[in-house]
Amino acid sequence: MKDLVFDLIEQEKIRQSEGLELIPSENYVSKAVLEAAGSILTNKYSEGYPSFEGVPGWSEEKIAEEILPNFRYYGGQINVDRIERLAIDRACRLFKADHANVQPHSGANANEAVYFAWLNPGDKVLAMNLGHGGHLTHGSPVTRSAKIYEFIPYGTNLATGDIDYNEMEKLALDHDIKLLLVGYSAFMKVPDFKRVAEIRDKAEQKWGHEILLMADMAHVAGLIAAGIHDNPLDFGFNVMTTTTHKTLRGPRGGLILSKGRVGSPLKKLEEKNLENIPTMIDKAVFPGTQGGPLEHIIAAKAVAFGEALKPEFKTYAKNIVKNAKTLAEELKKRGFKLIGDGTENHLILADMMKSFNINGKTYEKALDAVGLTLNANALPGDTGGAFKPNGVRLGTPAITTRGLGEKEMIEIAKWMAEVAKICQKADENGDENPEKTYAEDFASLRDEVKNLTKNFPVPGI
């Protein structure tokens, strides 16, 4: 008999097909990415790294044919080495990096590895405040890294939604920092990377030592790969980490890109400095913080990077931003107050309390009932706390993959406004269960959403 798990996978296929995914950190991978991720490569152990000797400038065909001397601890690496080499090579081309480590199991692991590579316990890191859009791994007290290193948060400007660069500069000159981090999960602008690099230079002068300049582009990596968003590595950043499953549209996983001299991960390092950061990162991923790499996922990353190198991906990325801007405008027309008054990327943050006097969690639950999935999210200076925040976060990467365009963005904004108004009415009557009280309205909206999804199949289903 087939395992029960497969019934549940079938159920999930239906859920994914019949609803619209507005969570900005999710996407749908291609059939080719799914196939690689579900392949027999999961059987192989390959602690260590493929060789890089002789590779720069090689064609993909040559990489796929040559047997390279490797730095592995087990035998039988002939195919795995070539696959991982292709993933590294494609990642470097996508992001104009000198080196790529494709082994981190997730975005969080990628960040941990960079911290471990460069910092000593007690070192200070300047990173974006979690409540203003930063990520848990950027110093939230519930994480391991916050116990080891000292994180100093900078904020965003409430009025403009942009990073408060003046505050960043002041903090960088007040605290003897070793790492300056730009990265976020809820931020709608393109950061001024040049300005950040200048702040790093000033802080280096003041403190008399090197400071690692790191970008965590987990959310916008796909837009960067497509060349429609600034690339921090073009502005003097040493390291860029990312997930591979958000706008980049690959399997779940992490990736670390760096600039500097690429050396052998087996040799003892001559010196710990920014020039040697690629090798320090390799050592920090394995054996520093991880064991055997997931070669089936690395293969799927390689396939996704290959897709991202194609011209169609550029069109896809442009459409993500076009859809996000349209959706933002349509929401504003219907009374939604947006942080930063709109978006420059794939992501929208709406203040539900200011707009409709309801909290983000109530609205998230109500939208779920009509087949629209997004997440409640804290806003800068939110008073609702992590479990009852006043905002919601949504985005367009997944629905753009399904082929939805401007016409459908208008539909979505209409549905979102109708649900918000029902929730507002319920709230005014002290009713905490609008989905029950207004069951008929919800059912008819649910049908409308389901009808629309029929014209936009999910890739791979």
Ligand X SMILES: *Cc1c(COP(=O)(O)O)cnc(C)c1O
Q: Which of 72, 82, 132, 135 binds ligand X (CB under 6 A)?
A: 135
Cis peptide before 287 (omega within 30 of 0): yes
Q: Among 124, 178, 200, 219, which residue interacts with ligand X (rule: CB under 6 A)?
A: 219
C-alpha span between 37 and 29 (Å, rounded): 10
How far apart, in Å, are the Cα atoms of 324 and each of 225, 365, 409?
A: 18, 22, 8
Is 183 one of the binding residues for ligand X (CB under 6 A)?
yes
Of residues 72 and 245, the one with the C-beta less far from ligand X: 245
Comparing CB distances to ligand X, the nearer of 25 and 323 is 25
Q: How far is CA 40 from CA 28, 36, 37, 43, 295, in A?
A: 22, 8, 9, 6, 9
Residue 72 appears among annotated catalytic residues = no
Decide: 411 and 452 in contact? Cβ < 8 Å. yes
Residues of span 49-108 touching ligand X by CB under 6 A: 106-108
How does DSSP assign 68-123, residue by residue? PP-EESSS--HHHHHHHHHHHHHHHHHHT-SEEE---SSHHHHHHHHHHHH--TT-
402 flagged as catalytic: no
- Report, in Å, the least distance between residue 183 CB and ligand X: 5
Instruction: Give residue number: closest CB to ligand X.
Output: 107
Q: Is the dihedral of CA 235, 247, 395, 411 positive or negative?
A: positive
Cα-Cα-Cα-Cα torsion 38, 41, 44, 46, nearest 10 degrees, comes to -110
Does residue 15 have an active-site annotation? no
Beta strands in 319-395 (DSSP E): 337-338, 347-351, 372-373, 375-377, 391-395
Q: Which of 215, 134, 133, 126 has the alpha carbon at shortest distance from 168?
A: 126
Residue 368: how many CB atoms within 10 A of its CB?
Answer: 14
Closer to ligand X by CB, 99 or 219: give it.
Answer: 219
- Both tokens assigned to 420: 């918000």
Piece in contact with ligand X (CB under 6 A), picked from 43-51, 155-163, 178-186, 231-239? 178-186
Q: Does 218 bind ligand X (CB under 6 A)?
A: yes
Note if 165 is an active site residue: no
45 a catalytic residue: yes
Nearer to ligand X, 46 or 244 (CB): 244
Q: Which of 348, 413 has the CB closer to ligand X?
A: 348
Closest approach of Cβ 223 to ligand X, in Å? 13
Nearest to 326 by CA among 342, 306, 307: 342
Question: In the stretch 225-244, what mask flags binding to ligand X with x, by CB under 6 A?
Answer: ------------------x-
Q: Which of 252, 337, 361, 450 is catalytic?
A: 252
Task: Specify whether 246 is catalytic.
Answer: yes
Name the one range near ligand X by CB under 6 A: 211-219, 333-341, 402-410, 424-432. Answer: 211-219
Query: Looking at 81, 89, 169, 216, which residue is catalytic?
Result: 216
Site size toward ligand X (CB under 6 A) is 14
Binding footprint of ligand X on the chain (CB under 6 A)? 25, 106-108, 135, 137, 183-185, 216, 218-219, 243, 254
Active-site positions read: 45, 47, 216, 243, 246, 252
